[in-house]
Structure 1
Amino acid sequence: MATTTVLYPKGTKFNMDYYMKSHMPLVGKKLGPHGLTSWKVLEFPSEAPFCVQATLEWDSQKSFEAAGASPEMKEVLDDVSNFSDNSPTMLPGAIKGTS
């Protein structure tokens, strides 16, 4: 398994309603066939260095890498301007342990 953490910095103009109702369903639809197994969205308090985090879980690191190079990922990333005035920081990684 692998995970990708997607972070939006504090101060970002962010439309959570659009994100949850349109963007995240788009993420699931476009990236699910590439091995995306689940996602979670967190909203942080105003004093945190980030305002929103999405955690995407993949069946493997190879699936994430293939999805990252796909036209579907471009479509997902092109949608960011519909809900945010900042590009996210994306941190992919292999899961080494869980409980």
Structure 2
Amino acid sequence: MIKVSVMYPNSERVKFDTDYYKNSHLPMIQESLGDALKGLELEVGIAGRAPGELAPYVAIAHLKFDSVASFQESFAPHQEKFAADVENYSNVQGELQISEIIAL
């Protein structure tokens, strides 16, 4: 199993509409990816390491798939639609990382 993490860097100038992302963007992704998507989680940053410090990421979405190929095949046909929606919830682009999930 793999996890695709989309991480939105945080700063004083970042705008991020969590309600839109949670209630519109992520449901659109779920519907578009269908059964290929095995799990979805949203994390919203609330603090950094030191008191008063911003969280490094304003939000992180974690999407689970059986394999990298499954992610690529299900995501590619919708990539432009997903990218075009970013302006509706943020002024920053997410950083994407694909990780292998290793159970301990």
Report TM bin, short chain.
Answer: 0.7 to 0.9
Moved over 3 A (4+): none
SS of 1:93's equivalent in the other structure is strand
Q: 2:77 — aligned with what?
A: 71
Is the Cα–Cα contact under 8 Å of residues 5 and 54 in structure 1 kept in the other structure?
A: yes
Greater C-alpha Rg: 2
Partner of 1:80: 86
Counterpart amino acid of 1:44?
G
User: Partner of 1:31 in structure 2?
Assistant: 33
AA partner of residue 84 (structure 2): D
| Equivalent residue number for residue 52 of structure 1 | 59
Q: Matched residue of 1:66: which SS?
A: helix
Counterpart residue number, 1:43: 44
Residue in structure 2 matching 1:98, options 84, 91, 103: 103
Q: How many equivalent pairs are there?
A: 96
Structure 2 gaps, min length 5: 48-53
Q: What do residues 8-27 of structure 1 show as CA deviations (whole Å, max 9, x unaligned)?
A: 11122000111111001001
Please, what is the CA RMSD of the aligned residues? 1.4
What is the aligned partner in structure 2 of residue 4 from structure 1?
4
Q: Structure 1 CA distance, aligned partners of 2:46 and 2:61? A: 15
TM-score normalised by length of structure 1? 0.87
